[in-house]
Amino acid sequence: MHEYQAPMADMKFVLRELVDLELLAQLPGFGDLTLDVAEAVLEEAEKFAGSVLSPLNRSGDVQGARWQDGQVLTADGWKQAYSRFIADGWTALSCPTEFGGQNLPRALSALVEEMWNGANLAFALCPMLTRGTVDAIELRGSQALQGTYLSNLVSGKWTGTMNLTEPQAGSDLSAVRTRAVPTGDGRYLVTGQKIFITYGEHDLTDNIVHLVLGRVAGAPEGVKGISLFVVPKFLVNADGSLGKRNDVHCVSIEDKLGIHASPTCVLAYGQNGGAVGELVGEENRGLEYMFIMMNAARYSVGIEGVGISERAYQTALAYARDRIQSTEAGLRGSARVAIIRHPDVRRMLMLMKSQTEAMRALAAVAAVALDAARLHPRAEERVRHQAFADLLIPVIKGWCTENSVDIASMGIQVHGGVGFVEGTGASQYLRDARITPIYEGTTGIQANDLIGRKLARDGGRAAQTVIAEMRGLAKELTANANLSAISPVFTASVDALERAIRYVVQNYGTDIRSVSVGAVPLLKLFGIVAGGWQLLRSASISQLKLTASKASGADAGFYEAKIATAQFYADHVLSQAPGLAHSIVHGAAGALTEGVL
């Protein structure tokens, strides 16, 4: 079975050429950042991903997590790997130094996260949720909560979870019924049940810190009455030591299609009187606070899509290079060749490669905006970068994860019949990828967020700023004799995106049902064009390197491959844009006709 190898050449290219390192270095706290430091981090992460996490991916899938009398046992090797993970400081990359973190930029930590996800998605889910718990407590928790929990969460000594979903609620958080009763000492007793809680119980750490949505007695109905509570598995004494077991227990874990080694738990709160919880921020503002963690998680789930896509591509590529079958097209009577010589196999591999590189680049560029929105010294710049990040987060979450399912499925197709057999590993990637467009908000939820909050609410202004940058690149491509052939396809795709956005902005307020039919196609269109924008930036930069004679040998081959990948993407992926725009603008009638379904 092919083990994961981090795509270091492309990751370093993204950092050197696409990420605005100059901007990041000017942000408070990042002054010591250099390219050498960033690349050294990537190289160490590559070793850990390839030598520790990847070898556990298959065995973890086969063995899975096990529930035993309320305890959850992780797969063999998990505890040792996690101990090494925290000893090496990987949980703390982008966390604040105040609580023991390394305060590295999100663009760098996102590339490292991609490695964890590509090597072992089931393992990577645990530190991903802990990072979101850190964000929520850091930004909205009291000093007492921060002092109690953050250092241990940042170090990875404790892990964190996000508890939203209940059996009757699903994605409708207005239906949450978990109750919290004040005890009079600033604490609350929490009762209720939460489902689908990733790493809600495990044997990796001594304590698990749950962020739980619930209602205080007398709170308004609906989302306006939801509060957020910190509920630890073990209570924490004043001196920081662990006290008695809290009244929260795992009553079962789910038998799932994929990510078998990641325990998905049903948690019962208050079976013996109530689980002790502490309020985060103010009562009835819980959903607002939880969205801090949820947005961080949505971005990170998009990175999961990139990682699993890369893993599926690598496995398919290795198989295609080794598998000898049939003669090459047009060469009758010649020797049998590796299937990578067959045109349709090459087409599939290039679809996998080009889309994965587009997703990686787009996510890294968005990560710069996340840091600038938080740290830039000028308020107007913080607002500008936040608008860009807000616009792209649903696209990254939805487009990258939907792509990961298609790419993993294509990887099976490259393998042919043996891809349908578990031993190759190709089928696991599809099974694992399939959850990513569902959790942290389905693709439909991301798309509705995109058309409503991110486009209609501001009249499309943030999107128009991005489109203006895309058109600037199109002009550069037109003026470049070596790349001018790509420019018309890119321009047509940008035209299609602008046409679709205009339709949403003009009609959302008067015909939301029709606009909503095209929401997911619009998210896909936005991802395709935005990803193409970054790939064509890559091609333009690569052409400059070649023209200036700054590249030779392997470097020249890399840059030439970048240009060829962008050309392929333009012809096979960007060319879909006008058709998607048509379905967005004209596709509602067929979907909404009564009596058809």
Q: Please give the structure tokens belonging to residue 365.
A: 């560029």
Going by pLDDT thresholds of 50, 70 and 90, the confidence category of residue 550 is low
- Separation of alpha carbons 78 and 52, rounded Å: 10
- Separation of alpha carbons 585 and 580, rounded Å: 9
End-to-end CA distance of the chain: 45
- For the cut 80, the answer to whether the pLDDT of residue 552 exceeds it is no
531: Cβ contacts below 8 Å, ≥ 6 apart: 355, 358, 359, 361, 362, 399, 569, 573
Catalytic residues: 440
| Average pLDDT estimate for 198-205 | 98
- The answer to whether the CB of 101 falls within 8 A of the CB of 109 is no
> In this structure, how many other beta carbons lie within 10 angstroms of the beta carbon of residue 382?
15
- For the cut 80, the answer to whether the pLDDT of residue 575 exceeds it is yes
Instruction: Give the start-end residues of each E strand in 309-365.
Output: 324-327, 336-338
Q: Please give the structure tokens belonging to residue 304.
A: 């999961």
Instruction: Tell me the percentage of the chain whose pLDDT exceeds 90.
Output: 88
- Separation of alpha carbons 584 and 109, rounded Å: 35
List for the chain the helix, strand, coil content (%; round to 5): 60, 15, 25
- The answer to whether the CB of 14 falls within 8 A of the CB of 111 is yes
Q: What is the pLDDT at residue 168?
A: 80
Query: In whole angstroms, how far apart are CA 70 and each of 31, 64, 80, 587?
Result: 47, 16, 22, 50
Q: How far is Cα of residue 486 from the mean position of the Cα atoms in its chain?
A: 29
Instruction: Give the start-end residues of each E strand in 44-104.
Output: 66-68, 71-73
Q: What is the pLDDT at residue 217?
A: 87
- For the cut 70, the answer to whether the pLDDT of residue 362 exceeds it is yes
Q: What is the pLDDT at residue 31?
A: 82
- The answer to whether the CB of 398 falls within 8 A of the CB of 443 is yes
Query: In whole angstroms, how far apart are CA 40 and each of 8, 34, 150?
Result: 11, 10, 27
Report the run of H or E that residue 269 belongs to, with start and end: strand 264-269
The pLDDT tens digits of the residues spanning 80-118 come to: 999 999 999 999 899 989 999 999 999 999 999 999 999
Query: In whole angstroms, how far apart are CA 531 and each of 105, 181, 525, 537?
Result: 21, 48, 10, 10
Cα–Cα nearest to 166, from 133, 196, 130: 196
Q: Please give the structure tokens belonging to residue 30.
A: 């990042």
Beta bridge partners of 236: 242
- The answer to whether the CB of 422 falls within 8 A of the CB of 428 is yes
194: Cβ contacts below 8 Å, ≥ 6 apart: 163, 164, 165, 166, 178, 200, 212, 266, 267, 269
Query: In whole angstroms, how far apart are CA 134 and each of 94, 473, 563?
Result: 11, 38, 40
- Separation of alpha carbons 336 and 445, rounded Å: 48
Going by pLDDT thresholds of 50, 70 and 90, the confidence category of residue 592 is very high
- For the cut 80, the answer to whether the pLDDT of residue 293 exceeds it is no
Q: How far is Cα of residue 576 from the mean position of the Cα atoms in its chain?
A: 24
Going by pLDDT thresholds of 50, 70 and 90, the confidence category of residue 33 is confident
| Average pLDDT estimate for 53-72 | 96
- The answer to whether the CB of 437 falls within 8 A of the CB of 338 is no
| Average pLDDT estimate for 430-452 | 96
- On average, the pLDDT of the chain sits at 95
The residue whose two tokens read 């960007």 is 574
The pLDDT tens digits of the residues spanning 323-336 come to: 999 999 988 888 99
- For the cut 80, the answer to whether the pLDDT of residue 173 exceeds it is no
